[in-house]
Amino acid sequence: MNELDGLRCFRLWEYRVSHGSLLLRSPKDAMFATNIDVAFVGVEYLRMSTRLPGLRVVESTFAHYEEELGGSGSLSGATFLLVSSAGSGLVVAAAYRVSEHDEEFLWSPFD
């Protein structure tokens, strides 16, 4: 799998409040035969654009974003910086994983 190589555009695809699940997807198209999903679980905080071309996920430290996150220390997840050519975003979550598949357009890994 060629994970997050910077060639694909990701979109904020799905968010489920009940389980704090966030899905960013680069869907298959004429250039790419597969979908690439970036799935976060245990999401406690997010700030992002809905379009993330050339996405990279970088684990960061809470201290770096303490002012933005309120400085309360009440968030227990890891801090992930979303870097794209359209700007950056931030997610605090328990974990994330990248997967590649050829499922249908509306298929969800959370079902």
pLDDT-derived band at 6 (thresholds 50, 70, 90) equals confident
pLDDT tens for each residue of 15-64: 999 999 999 999 999 999 999 999 999 999 999 999 999 999 999 876 66
How many other CB atoms are there within 10 angstroms of residue 64's CB atom? 12
What is the C-alpha separation between 5 and 7, in angstroms, rounded? Answer: 6
- What's the pTM? 0.89
- The arithmetic mean of pLDDT across residues 90-100, rounded, is 95
The radius of gyration of the chain's CA atoms, rounded to the nearest angstrom, is: 14
